C-alpha cells in the first residue's frame, strides 16, 4: 500500500469528489481515479461507492478513512519531530579524540557545555585506528594525519607541528646528531598512537627507524621517555614547550625538519548532518588553530 495513495484517498473524501480532489492536488482526474482503484486493489476491497452525483464511503471505506487520517497525522508529526531534532541542540553528542587534543580543549569544552546546556557531551579518549570505529556509534571523532578510510567524511580542523627532541643528559652521553642520517646511530622513540607510525616520524624527510628503542601509543609516555634520556623522540610542538623552557628537552636540527600534520573532524556521512554536530565542528575550527599556534609560538628558538 502506497502512503501517497492513502493521502490522495483522504483528499478525495474530504473534497467530496474526484474532480475537486484532482484540482486540489493539481493532478489529472484520470490519475486520481486510477490511483484510488489501485489502492482498492491493493486492499482487495471497495472503499467508495461512486454515483453520478456523489461519492459514498463503504463501511470498510469509512473505517479505513479514519485510520488513514490517524496514520497521516502520525507521519506528519514524526517528520516534524525529526526535523526539529535534526536542527536542535539537545540530546547526547558523542566525541572521540586523542588524550593530548582533549587536554588542549578542556577549557573550551567547558565553555561549549555552558553555551549549549541541553546537550549531553559524551567524551571518549581513544588511540584506536579509525578502521576499528566502523561499527561504533559516534557523532564526531578528532583524528590526526591522513584519513585513508573513504567510508567516513573527514574535514580539516587545524594543523599541528611535530619536531625532534632529546634530553640534555642523552645528548651529553650520545652526542648531538647533526644530520638525519646520524639518527641511525641513536636510540629512537616512536609513537603509534594514530593510524600509522609514519604520523609521528616524518617518513618523507627522515627515514623511519627499522628498530626503534621503544614504541608507545601515548604522546605523554613518549615525552616522559624522551625527557628521561631514553632517546630521540618526535613530539608535537605544543607538548614540548614547557620541557624546552625548563631545559628538560632540546630541539634538534634547529627545527629544520619540523613538519605539519592536519587534525581532522571525522563523521559518518555528509548527508543530513545533525545541527549539534555541525555546531561542534564549527566551534572547534574557530578556536583550535588559534590555541595551537599560540602555544607553538612560545617554543624557544
102/291 Cα distance (integer angstroms)? 13
Say what the pLDDT of residue 73 is. 83
Mean pLDDT for all residues in the chain: 85
Say what the pLDDT of residue 237 is. 96
Quick: pLDDT tens for 229-284: 999 999 999 999 999 999 999 999 999 999 998 999 988 876 658 888 888 888 89
Q: Residue 125 pLDDT > 90, yes or no?
A: no
Q: Over range 56-64, report the average pLDDT.
A: 88
Give the model's confidence band at 21: pLDDT under 50 very low, under 70 low, under 90 confident, else very high: confident
5/11 Cα distance (integer angstroms)? 10
Q: Residue 193 pLDDT > 90, yes or no?
A: no
- Within this chain, domains 91-157+262-296 and 159-261 share the same CATH topology: yes
Give the model's confidence band at 132: pLDDT under 50 very low, under 70 low, under 90 confident, else very high: low
Give the model's confidence band at 206: pLDDT under 50 very low, under 70 low, under 90 confident, else very high: confident
Contact 257, 178 (CB under 8 A): no
**What percent of the chain has a predicted confidence (pLDDT) above 90?**
32
Q: Residue 157 pLDDT > 50, yes or no?
A: yes
Contact 300, 121 (CB under 8 A): no
Tell me the domain boundaries of the chain.
Answer: 3-87, 91-157+262-296, 159-261
Evaluate the CA torsion angle 64, 65, 66, 69 in order and state its sign. Answer: positive
Class for the domain spanning 91-157+262-296: alpha beta
Q: Give the list of residues 6+ apart from residue 84 with CB closer than 8 angstroms, or none.
A: none
**What percent of the chain has a predicted confidence (pLDDT) above 70?**
87
Query: Grid cell 557531551 — which residue?
Result: 121
Q: Residue 164 pLDDT > 80, yes or no?
A: yes
Check residues 192 and 85 and name the one with the higher pLDDT: 192
Residues composing the chain: 301
Quick: pLDDT tens for 67-103: 988 988 888 777 666 655 545 677 889 999 988 999 8
Say what the pLDDT of residue 199 is. 56
One of 3.40.50.970, 3.40.190.10, 3.40.50.300, 3.90.330.10 is the CATH number of 159-261, namely 3.40.190.10
Q: Residue 195 pLDDT > 50, yes or no?
A: no
One of 3.40.50.2000, 3.40.50.720, 1.10.10.10, 1.10.10.2840 is the CATH number of 3-87, namely 1.10.10.10
Amino acid at each position: 500500500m502506497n502512503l501517497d495513495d492513502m493521502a490522495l484517498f483522504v483528499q478525495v473524501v474530504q473534497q467530496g469528489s474526484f474532480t475537486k480532489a484532482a484540482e486540489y492536488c493539481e493532478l489529472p482526474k484520470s490519475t486520481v481515479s486510477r490511483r484510488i482503484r489501485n489502492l482498492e486493489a491493493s486492499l482487495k476491497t471497495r472503499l467508495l461507492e461512486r454515483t453520478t452525483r456523489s461519492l459514498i464511503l463503504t463501511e470498510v471505506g469509512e473505517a479505513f478513512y479514519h485510520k488513514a487520517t490517524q496514520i497521516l497525522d502520525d507521519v506528519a508529526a514524526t517528520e516534524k519531530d525529526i526535523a526539529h531534532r535534526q536542527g536542535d541542540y539537545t540530546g547526547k553528542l558523542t566525541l572521540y579524540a586523542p588524550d593530548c587534543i582533549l587536554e588542549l580543549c578542556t577549557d573550551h569544552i567547558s565553555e561549549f557545555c555552558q553555551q549549549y546546556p541541553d546537550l549531553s557531551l559524551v567524551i571518549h579518549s581513544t588511540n584506536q585506528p579509525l578502521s576499528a570505529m566502523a561499527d561504533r556509534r559516534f557523532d564526531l571523532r578528532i583524528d590526526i594525519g591522513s584519513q585513508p578510510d573513504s567510508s567516513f567524511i573527514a574535514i580539516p580542523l587545524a594543523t599541528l607541528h611535530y619536531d625532534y627532541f632529546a634530553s640534555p643528559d642523552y645528548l651529553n652521553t650520545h652526542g648531538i646528531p647533526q644530520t638525519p642520517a646520524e639518527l641511525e646511530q641513536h636510540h629512537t622513540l616512536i609513537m603509534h598512537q594514530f593510524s600509522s607510525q609514519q604520523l609521528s616520524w616524518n617518513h618523507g624527510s627522515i627515514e623511519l627507524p627499522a628498530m626503534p628503542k621503544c614504541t608507545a601509543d601515548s604522546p605523554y609516555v613518549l615525552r616522559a621517555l624522551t625527557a628521561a634520556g631514553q632517546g630521540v623522540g618526535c613530539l608535537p610542538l605544543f607538548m614540548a614547550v614547557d620541557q624546552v623552557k625548563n631545559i628538560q628537552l632540546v630541539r634538534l636540527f634547529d627545527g629544520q625538519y619540523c613538519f605539519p600534520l592536519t587534525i581532522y573532524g571525522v563523521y559518518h556521512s555528509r548527508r543530513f548532518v545533525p545541527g549539534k554536530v555541525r555546531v561542534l565542528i564549527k566551534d572547534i575550527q574557530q578556536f583550535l588553530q588559534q590555541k595551537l599556534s599560540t602555544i607553538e609560538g612560545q617554543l624557544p628558538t
